[in-house]
Structure 1
Amino acid sequence: MKKLRFAIIGCGRISYKHIEGLVENKDAAELVSTCDVKLDLAEAKKEEYLTKMNDSSLKVRIYEDYKVMIENEDIDVITIATESGYHAEIAIYCMNKGKHVIVEKPMAMSIDDANEMIEVAKKNNVKLSVAHQNRFNKPIQKLREVVEEEKLGRIMNGTARILWRRDDNYYKQAPWRGTWDLDGGTLMNQCIHNIDLLQWMIGSEVERVYAECDTFKNKIEAEDFGAIVIRFKNGAIGIVEGSAVVYPKNLEETLSVFGTEGTVVIGGLAVNELKTWRFEGEDEESVKKDLQVEIDSVYGKGHTPLFRDVIEAVNEDRKPYVSGEDAIVPLSIILAAYKSRKTGMPVSFPFNNFSTLDMK
């Protein structure tokens, strides 16, 4: 397998997971450059990589301008961990330069931008993957297995509960957070992972979405609490409860799926703990024992297998496990929820382009 050369654009809060993904795939990946408009952050990420690799002789160059970096470096894959509002612009530029891309969620802030990203990837024959890393969690993979085997019977409904705490300090650390220009609110930032898992397990196109949102506590433009009801074309109903104002700290992130022949609940800090596994003739406790995952943060452990999958997708010339086509679905649900909030009405699918900027 060809060893791929990586670069990171955006060296803030989540980028340490990108370093982790590269270090833990060091047999097949190497970091050649880091880039951030704040050079000290790019330098810090370089040093973090060298320290974790335990090899200060490795050549990693730092850049302030990603366009200059692309012209000067031999790069196979670029990972993008900037503010959300810049994801589409940077990804499209990189792919038009023939680079494979891993982009943090959300892939874009509008449906049109997300569709353009997908088309640009196809046009340039490059891979586009979106960091919905929780799809790789062991309990999630086990649930997906029984969904594909139809062991749940008819899936009637599912719930995604994201009950977290983000206080003023979180938003002050990075003023772009909670803005319509660059972030969106709790649904877009904190809830998109679990919304992705919910729709993935229900496995149907969306028929319509209705939402109620509010900004109860945090001094931000967007919502710090959102509730969504999703009707799927297969008849199933999805319910999303997303909060960033749980007192006094993060409580849970839980995915529940209810079928006529089974019930599954996966919880923990980042849908990493199997809580309920009820199927006729199956020993719930033994299944739970084999599937627990220890994590160190809400980001979980999924970046490492996600990076591995992209490396293999490039080498095997296949579609990534989490593609742009996959990631546009949860994005569309959230944008429909924002449109519903603005109009006070349910939003039927398909619907015309909508952006977080339309909420201003």
Structure 2
Amino acid sequence: MAQPPIRLSIVGFGEIGQRHAELITADADCLLAGICDVDPRCRSYADKFGVPVYEDVKELLETEKPQATIIATPNRQHAAIAELCAKQSIHILIEKPIADSMEGANRIVKAAHDNHVQVLVGHHRRHNPLVQETRLALQSGELGKLTAVSMFWTLMKPINYYQKQWRCTRPGGGPTLINLVHELDLLRYLCGEVRQVYAQASSAARQLAVEDTLSISLVLESGAVASILASDTTPSPWSYEATTRENPLYFPNDENCYYFFGTLGSFTFPQMQRWRYTSEKAFGWQHPLEMSQRVVVRADPLKSQLEHFCRVVREEERPIVDGRDGARSLALVLAVLESIRRQAPVLLTDSQP
């Protein structure tokens, strides 16, 4: 017997909130119960979905009584909204990062625990089949012991991107918190926890209060080292968004953006190319390398994330990224910002979530 659709509300109706609404209305397993946003432009767009639109979160929750809510507001608002939801036993899908501070993240984790609700943090890239297949390749041992990782996130943001004030001011703005949280979360998901981070940043190109270019060096608990080069102010094909073709807003290409190096081989993402010697006896730079390529059936990770969230609400699955996991990714992001501020390496401690 088919179960009734899950009633979902959305708080925050910018670009990502609108995308969530489109996915919900196209999925028979869930139902859009209501939308909340204070921006008249967003509210005007919300009207096309034919559901109640509110300015006040509390009124939305008390009137529509959703089973679950998607929080897609600016980062600094996440904790307060999540607490409201948790107190009414409403399950939560919260956009990344989980909050703009560890204090906010801890509030969310505590509220969810105290009220027995599930939190799924919207690190949607983990749901991408390309990412899942890469994780399998790394965990299979076919590359040997992982020694190094190189990640690129280099692109040119549109001119109007930073017209939204919250994107270019602290504490919630800047590409590290808004964008690189994805790369840092995937580094943890694919390669394990990070022991130390050292980051340098520049705002010379845009001359805003937040960085536009970064170089990040990391040491993993496994002993492997990693580097992330990031800039949102350069015409470049080397970014996750463009190379995975995940987001139609980005002009696509067939380049790679991540490289993984092991003692037995290397691996590229998202082209899924594995390089290694042709035999165990032919080992060394004087011998040729062979390349093989994994074929992956692609899927929309945001759609897969929504389907997973519905199963979480029905208690059929545990969250792939729960509140504590999301808080650990936030801790890594904040360590990057702390390293930039101190101009020194920062150790990540066992006391973090």
Give the TM-score, by structure 1 length.
Answer: 0.83
The match for 2:133 among 130, 142, 158 is: 142
Instruction: State the distance in 1 between where 2:160 and 2:205 align.
Output: 13
Q: How does 1:107-186 map to 2 (within 5 A)?
A: 107-172=98-163, 174-183=164-173, 185-186=174-175
Query: 1:167, 1:218 within 8 Å by CA — same for their partners in 2?
Result: no
Q: How does 1:225-304 map to 2 (within 5 A)?
A: 225-247=213-235, 251-253=238-240, 254-266=257-269, 273-278=270-275, 287=294, 290-291=295-296, 293=298, 301-304=300-303
The match for 2:179 among 167, 177, 190 is: 190
* Residues 96/346 of structure 1: CA separation in 2 closer, same or farther (3 Å cut): same
CA shift, 1:220, in A, is 2.3
- The equivalent of 2:46 in structure 1 is 45
- 1:311-338 Cα deviation digits (max 9, x unpaired): 1012125421122222222221111111
- The equivalent of 1:7 in structure 2 is 9
Instruction: State the distance in 2 between where 1:255 and 1:45 align.
Output: 37
- The equivalent of 1:298 in structure 2 is none
Q: How many residues align?
A: 324
* Residues 177/351 of structure 1: CA separation in 2 closer, same or farther (3 Å cut): farther
* Residues 148/277 of structure 1: CA separation in 2 closer, same or farther (3 Å cut): same
Which letter does structure 1 place at the counterpart of 2:77?
A: Y
Instruction: State the distance in 2 between where 1:281 and 1:21 align.
Output: 45
Which letter does structure 2 place at the counterpart of 1:74?
A: K
Query: 1:163, 1:242 within 8 Å by CA — same for their partners in 2?
Result: yes
- The equivalent of 1:338 in structure 2 is 337
Instruction: State the distance in 2 between where 1:117 and 1:147 align.
Output: 32
| Runs of 5+ consecutive residues of structure 2 not aligned to the other structure | 241-256, 280-289
Query: 1:39, 1:62 within 8 Å by CA — same for their partners in 2?
Result: no
Q: How does 1:315-334 map to 2 (within 5 A)?
A: 315-316=314-315, 318-334=317-333
Give the TM-score, by structure 2 length.
Answer: 0.85
- The equivalent of 1:33 in structure 2 is 34
Query: 1:206, 1:232 within 8 Å by CA — same for their partners in 2?
Result: yes
**Seq. identity, %:** 26
Instruction: State the distance in 1 between where 2:40 and 2:348 align.
Output: 43
- 1:247-266 Cα deviation digits (max 9, x unpaired): 3x664232222222332211
Which letter does structure 2 place at the counterpart of 1:328?
A: A
CA shift, 1:277, in A, is 2.4
Instruction: State the distance in 1 between where 2:142 and 2:301 align.
Output: 25
Does residue 22 (structure 1) correspond to residue 24 (structure 2)? The answer is yes
CA shift, 1:246, in A, is 0.7
Which letter does structure 2 place at the counterpart of 1:177?
A: R
- 1:270-321 Cα deviation digits (max 9, x unpaired): xxx325223678995552xx32648xxxxxx311100111110121254211
- The equivalent of 1:210 in structure 2 is 198
- 1:205-252 Cα deviation digits (max 9, x unpaired): 3221111011022242110111111112211112111111113x6642
Which letter does structure 2 place at the counterpart of 1:17?
A: R
- The equivalent of 1:224 in structure 2 is 212
- 4+ residue runs over 4 A deviation: 279-286
- The equivalent of 1:308 in structure 2 is 307
Instruction: State the distance in 2 between where 1:91 and 1:262 align.
Output: 44
* Residues 284/308 of structure 1: CA separation in 2 closer, same or farther (3 Å cut): farther
Bigger Cα Rg? 2
Query: 1:34, 1:46 within 8 Å by CA — same for their partners in 2?
Result: no
Q: Secondary structure at the match of 1:319?
A: coil
CA shift, 1:128, in A, is 0.6
* Residues 286/341 of structure 1: CA separation in 2 closer, same or farther (3 Å cut): closer
The match for 1:68 among 52, 59, 68 is: 59
Query: 2:7, 2:68 within 8 Å by CA — same for their partners in 1?
Result: yes
Does residue 82 (structure 1) correspond to residue 73 (structure 2)? The answer is yes
Which letter does structure 1 place at the counterpart of 2:336?
A: A
* Residues 309/302 of structure 1: CA separation in 2 closer, same or farther (3 Å cut): same
* Residues 139/314 of structure 1: CA separation in 2 closer, same or farther (3 Å cut): same
